[in-house]
Structures are given as structure tokens and as C-alpha cells.
Amino acid sequence: MLPISLLFTNTKLSKIGFITEDKCSFCKSESETSSHLLFDCIKSKSFWKDFESYFYSLSKEFVHLTLKDVIVGVIITKCPLLNYLLLIAKIYLWECRRTQILPNITGFKLKVKNKFETEKYVCMKNNT
């Protein structure tokens, strides 16, 4: 799992004097804590709603993600696809924050496609 306590959010960076503003990189209005950035931000919430619809289109399973689900994964049911996509989504959100772009489902789908192509290439190279 992504160790979110290790993320250097704007709140942490401002506390150590690296930057002066602790505002969220996405909404620019709330303090950028890990939980805000990855879940509570209005921009992240919008992304997760689209993520839930995307997951439904893939699996025909409805999910309503909570902060806990996003942070530690869905542990109630065995769902390796959902947990794999959650990992990619968290990495995607952090990359959006790092590159100062707003997260969107189209960008996420492209990242999933790139991951799939990489995994496919590795399988072909290893004859697995």
C-alpha cells in the first residue's frame, strides 16, 4: 500500500518551512493533508465518483469507496482488480498533484492502459 503518512503534502512542507502556503494543489482552498488530497478534496471526490463508475463498467460490481478503502484497500471481499486499480489511482492522484494537473478519469484510464501494456510486454519477454 502507498504509505500516505510519508507523502510530503503542502501541509507538511509548510510546517518545515519549505513552502509558505499549505493549500491543496487541486482545489487551492483547503489545507493539503494526505486524506484531503487523496479523498476529501472536491476534485478528488469527483475523480473517485468517476472511478466507481469506471470500475462498474469493468466488473458490473458497484462500489462506494470510503477513505479507509482508498487508504488501505478493500479488505472485506476478495477483489484483486479493485485493489490493483486503487493502487494505480493513488499513484495517479499523486502524479497529478506533482505535475499540477487536475485528476480526471480519462488520464487515469490512460495510466491503466500503459500499465497493462507494460505488464503485457514483461509477460511476453518472460514467456509467461
Q: Return the residues of window 38-77 that contact Zn ion according to CB under 5 A.
A: 41
**Which of 27, 87, 88, 102 forms a contact with Zn ion (CB under 5 A)?**
27
Contacts (CB under 5 A) with Zn ion, residues 89-128: none
Q: Which stretch binds Zn ion (CB under 5 A): 9-17, 19-27, 67-75, 110-118?
A: 19-27
For residue 2, state whether it binds Zn ion (rule: CB under 5 A).
no
- Report the b/e string of 80-110 with b at 16+ CB within 10 A: eebbebbeebbebbbebbeeeeebebeebee
Only segment of 17-25, 78-86, 87-95, 101-109 that touches Zn ion (CB under 5 A): 17-25
Closer by beta carbon to Zn ion, 30 or else 50 = 30
What is the chain's Cα-based Rg? 16
Residues at the site binding Zn ion, with contacts judged by CB under 5 A: 24, 26-27, 30, 41
